[in-house]
Structure 1
Amino acid sequence: MSETTDAITGASILLDEVTKQYPGQTRPAVGGLTLEIPAGSIVMFVGPSGCGKTTTLKMINRLIEPSSGKIVINGEDVTKMDGDTLRRRIGYVIQAGGLFPHMTVAANIAIVPKMLGWDKAKIAARVDELLELVSLDPSIYRDRYPKELSGGQQQRVGVARALAADPPVLLMDEPFGAVDPITRQRLQDELLNIQSEVQKTIVMVTHDFDEAVKLGDWIAVFDEGAQLVQYDSPERVLANPANEFVENFIGSGAGLKQLTLTRVNQVKLNEAVTALPGELASDVLSRVQGAGQPLAVVLDKRRRPVRRLTRRQLSRLQIVDDTIDESMPVVGDQATLNDALDTMLVASSETAVVTGRRDAFLGVINVQTIMEAISAANAAAAEAEGDAPVGLNSGAIPAIAIEGALAANGHDGGNTSEDLQDVEEPR
């Protein structure tokens, strides 16, 4: 559930009775799917393997051509557009970033801008801007090759490349499925931080329901043939699954999954004493004691946390240095309370350092704060209200009008094709 702080630059998408029928198959891979994806939102496609969610994703940029139906992006029927032209307007991210191994990071990011005829100075500036956006120092990473990067770094570069030409739509196919759990959490947080700045329309396929709850503004649960079983907010999918299929897909522990509905930036953080490298340790210790705090957080010149120093450690030092503590528990402010709690447990710590945009220090979160927020999150989920976007398959409801449903949901109908009708019962 993305926090919007800047102007939306994403585009609305409407799949209008889209079908994909492969030759020789008795059932369509995707059957008559109508799906509204609001501009600037993150929509997660989930469901069992082979249910058609990746096929649906790839039809949006026509890596797979639909057999019938329309795909409308910001009012334009893109099924009539040249496929290559369309794909240059849509970012696409796959596992491990899909980077070209013989090209540097900068060259990988610059591929689409070069195709579009950007000049070298503009491309170079854009590459550095995007590396900063995905928290990779351009001076360190722009000339490296993919083999010199970790899996998480490759994925960040893949996101940067997808955003290079500033596309309104970003498609992501299991982007974080090939990395370890800790890296996956950090990449998820980074994506949410990026989204808070760029406000694109993001459609992502995942097998991980927890990931869908954490990232999605809306979750589309598919069964075989891309039959849309439920399309709603994460809160309502958890609190009111549409049927037994959705219940089984969510799995056990639905109540615990409510922890993923509240983010760190939605709770009050605790303040902490901060210090800069080069300060006298005795001065920092005095501030820590005066504030009644157990430790100080050392920040670099860009206000990024590098280590924590307890009172005992400060008493043994003369000067605060900038040694990086890789084991320090750190969570982004876009992380969920579940992520924060996991981070503390792994570090055997009752607190975690919280960072925001560009990894800048924001404060500290502790276990008590999380416990107090759990009750509030559960209560809020039970009372959640609001209309979901339109989502259905042909024959799921009487053929009565979709346009009216869009208007009822607060949309202007500008992304519908001319022959859409009103749907009085969109769900």
Structure 2
Amino acid sequence: MSEPSGAITGASILLDEVTKQYPGQIKPAVGGLTLEIPAGSIVMLVGPSGCGKTTTLKMINRLIEPTDGKIVIDGEDVTQMDGDTLRRRIGYVIQAGGLFPHMTVAANIAIVPKMLGWDKAKISARVDELLELVSLDPAVYRDRYPKELSGGQQQRVGVARALAADPPVLLMDEPFGAVDPITRQRLQDELLNIQAEVQKTIVMVTHDFDEAVKLGDWIAVFDEGAQLVQYDSPERILANPANDFVENFIGSGAGLKQLTLTRVNEVELVDAVTATPGELASAVLSRLQGAGQQLAVVLDSRKRPARRLSRRQLSRMQVIDDTVDDSMPVVSDQSTLNDALDTMLVASSETAVVTGRRDVFRGLINVQTIMEAIAQANSSASADSEAPVGLNSGAIPAISVENAMAGEADGESAQHPVEEPR
């Protein structure tokens, strides 16, 4: 789950008995869905193909018009608003970023601010700010075209474009589904880093339950017709799946999935001896020996790790140069312990370098730390936070959100069919 560090800039969302019925279809694509999405949270929509996840997502910004029900964002019923005006207030990210190929990175990001009449100086400053936020150097990337970017870079630009006008809500439809697993992990970590800074309300569709566990503050598990089977925290869903459908959807290895609930920033990192290009190697070697450590981490001018140097390597050089080692095992402090362990195993290393926001060096994590964290992990569901309201009028007797919340106040569970954690 993401860790808030600043003011929440997202808006609450309420889908109040929302239905989508297509002509000629017997069953609705979405049937009487009520879903409460707290401001500043990440809510993951998961379920089998064709269950109504994307339809639900697109009804929030009315790319698909609901047949019935209300959609309320920050207290305002947006079903009564002009659709184009609404969409300019909501960020939207799809697979591969959806960038316009004939426009530069800067022009892609500037689309909505231009529509809103921002002046050129403000737009230019916002483009550079967002490129920094998604860890792309503005001087290098602002004038490039999408074809000159990797898939991961395109996706980062897509996120920057969605955030350009500082919308309170960000909708993401399988945003990382078209990239390789390593890039996917890095993009997930980057999204969590961004969310820690901007605190938007993010609703994301995914087929990957592991991704939902890693990113989601809350997970909504849908069955056919967007029937909400369970809506709760990742911890409680893993510990107490509502029924056989949810248990089967989670799949085997639910115990191992608990490892994705602990992040690198939740364990104690190992301090490291650091060096900078231009330093005498002998001075760095002396610090290493004094600290009783084997590896020094070389940092660039922005405190980002460039490479690691062993005592033997240092003894063979005079001055630290600015060489960058792209194969160095690096994980974000938003990475899960599972991610960190995978990174170390792939690199055949007992340690990995940990970075924070803007890729700034944080410390080291080692296998021993991860093993100790696993041994101490408590797999019981957390009862610290109360789940938001989620239900279907077609699955249970139709009740309003106000009545559901009143039921909670009376000690009854409005969260259907989630059981209270034991």
Q: TM-score, normalised by structure 2?
A: 0.96
Please list, as runs of the form range in 1=range in 2, the aligned pairs for 1:164-203 lying within 5 A after superposition. Answer: 164-203=164-203
Deviations along 1:127-155, whole A, 9 cap, x unmatched? 00000000000000000000000000000
Cα distance change on mapping 1:303 and 1:262 into 2, 3 Å: same
CA distance in 2, matches of 1:318, 1:130: 39
CA distance in 2, matches of 1:100, 1:61: 21
SS state of the match for residue 40, structure 2? coil
Residue 78 of structure 2 is matched in structure 1 by: 78
Structure 2 runs not aligned, ≥5 long: 417-422
**How many angstroms does 1:382 deviate by?**
4.0
Number of aligned pairs?
A: 415
Cα distance change on mapping 1:407 and 1:329 into 2, 3 Å: farther
CA distance in 1, matches of 2:173, 2:100: 17
Deviations along 1:279-321, whole A, 9 cap, x unmatched? 0001000000100001100000100000000111111111111
**How many angstroms does 1:409 deviate by?**
6.5
Cα distance change on mapping 1:284 and 1:207 into 2, 3 Å: same
Please list, as runs of the form range in 1=range in 2, the aligned pairs for 1:25-44 lying within 5 A after superposition. Answer: 25-44=25-44
Residue 363 of structure 2 is matched in structure 1 by: 363
Deviations along 1:27-46, whole A, 9 cap, x unmatched? 11000000000000000000
Moved more, 317-326 or 368-377: 368-377
CA distance in 1, matches of 2:398, 2:268: 48
Residue 302 of structure 1 is matched in structure 2 by: 302
Query: Is the contact made by 1:235 and 1:384 (CA closer than 8 Å) also made in structure 2?
Result: no
Q: Please say if 1:393 is aligned against 2:382.
A: no
Residue 426 of structure 1 is matched in structure 2 by: 415
Cα distance change on mapping 1:334 and 1:408 into 2, 3 Å: farther
Q: Please say if 1:403 is aligned against 2:392.
A: no
The amino acid across from 1:118 in the alignment is: W
Q: Please say if 1:335 is aligned against 2:335.
A: yes
Q: Please say if 1:20 is aligned against 2:20.
A: yes
**How many angstroms does 1:404 deviate by?**
4.5
Cα distance change on mapping 1:17 and 1:359 into 2, 3 Å: same
Residue 101 of structure 2 is matched in structure 1 by: 101
Cα distance change on mapping 1:111 and 1:33 into 2, 3 Å: same
The amino acid across from 2:100 in the alignment is: F
Query: Is the contact made by 1:93 and 1:172 (CA closer than 8 Å) also made in structure 2?
Result: yes
Query: Is the contact made by 1:400 and 1:423 (CA closer than 8 Å) also made in structure 2?
Result: no
- Cα RMSD of the aligned pairs, angstroms, is 1.4
Residue 287 of structure 1 is matched in structure 2 by: 287
Query: Is the contact made by 1:401 and 1:423 (CA closer than 8 Å) also made in structure 2?
Result: no
The amino acid across from 1:394 in the alignment is: S
Residue 416 of structure 1 is matched in structure 2 by: none
CA distance in 2, matches of 1:51, 1:397: 18
Q: TM-score, normalised by structure 1?
A: 0.95
Please list, as runs of the form range in 1=range in 2, the aligned pairs for 1:369-384 lying within 5 A after superposition. Answer: 369-377=369-377, 379-382=378-381, 384=383
Cα distance change on mapping 1:407 and 1:143 into 2, 3 Å: farther
**How many angstroms does 1:374 deviate by?**
1.4
Query: Is the contact made by 1:10 and 1:39 (CA closer than 8 Å) also made in structure 2?
Result: yes
**How many angstroms does 1:164 deviate by?**
0.1
Query: Is the contact made by 2:392 and 2:398 (CA closer than 8 Å) also made in structure 1?
Result: no
The amino acid across from 1:131 in the alignment is: L
CA distance in 2, matches of 1:41, 1:382: 19
CA distance in 2, matches of 1:407, 1:172: 32
Structure 1 runs not aligned, ≥5 long: 411-421
